[in-house]
Amino acid sequence: MAGRILVYLLFSLLSFTDMSAQSFKAEQQKAPRVKAAYAEKWEGLKAEMQKKGMDANGFELFIRVFKQEKLVEVWLKPQNEKEYRLFKTYPICYYSGDLGPKRKQGDGQVPEGFYSIAVFNPYSSYHLSLGVSYPNASDKIIGKSNLGGDIMIHGNCLSIGCIPITDVFIKELYVLAVEAKNAGQASIPVHIFPIRMDAAGMGFLNSTYESNATLQAFWKNLQTGYAHFEEKKKLPKVSVDKEGVYVFSEK
């Protein structure tokens, strides 16, 4: 575990350090798995983008996760557009825990809330992995003292608290994330929800967890951010108040 964390820290540093000598993409492609993923997936991804009228030469990436439906949505915003468009949807092949946020280490929960990609790990034990910025400011206020960490979107189909989408699909998502960062996207948002938070989804949560007022309040807060994107196809600016409640505003 210590070695794995060291690798995460190393590539987190590489990911968010100025690389004046060469691009982030070139640095990542030094890793054999990333180079192979590009050779296998990039031309096909570009062809899919072009078919959907998207410019592959520079885009921003947004990742949205639904636990109940076991889905990872990939949204792209080409540089000449103002709104995100749904590009691909990947199945989550397994997740641990129940609906509800992660509040402490060892609870087996997949987090829920508003995060970003914090780590690119091309030497993951699960082929390739993208680290989610858990715990965020809200988690640190509301959660237990020992919050845990190392929440990844990764390959394979094994997980405790992470989001595995198989090796086939992590190759695509990893390449898209590298391309977005290489084109200048400083922060790649990752929004993780218990369920699609439309009327049907909120009805399910309200009836199934009727007696849990804490969860109901938390999910109502998440639903505000969900609804903002659903209506506008633009990401809200997300901040956190002193109680750990998410606050949303226009960017």
Q: Which residue has the tokens 């505003």?
A: 249
Q: Tell me if 98 is assigned to some domain.
A: yes
Domain assignment of residue 16, given as a range: 2-196
Task: Tell me if the pTM is above 0.85.
Answer: yes
pLDDT tens string 16-51: 444 443 699 999 999 999 999 999 999 999 999 999
Q: Tell me if 244 is assigned to some domain.
A: no
Radius of gyration (C-alpha) of the chain in whole angstroms: 18
Q: Tell me if 223 is assigned to some domain.
A: no
Given the residues 93, 127, 157, 162, the one annotated as active site: 162
Average pLDDT, the chain: 92
Q: Tell me if 39 is assigned to some domain.
A: yes
Given the residues 93, 127, 154, 157, the one annotated as active site: 154
Q: Tell me if 20 is assigned to some domain.
A: yes
Q: Tell me if 126 is assigned to some domain.
A: yes
- Report the number of distinct structural domains present in the chain: 1
Q: Tell me if 203 is assigned to some domain.
A: no
Mean pLDDT, rounded, for 67-92: 96
Q: Tell me if 30 is assigned to some domain.
A: yes
Whether residue 157 lies in the annotated active site: no
Whether residue 162 lies in the annotated active site: yes
Task: State how far the Cα of 64 lies from the Cα of 84, in Å rounded to an integer.
Answer: 12
* 64: CATH: 2.40.440.10
Task: State how far the Cα of 193 lies from the Cα of 113, in Å rounded to an integer.
Answer: 6
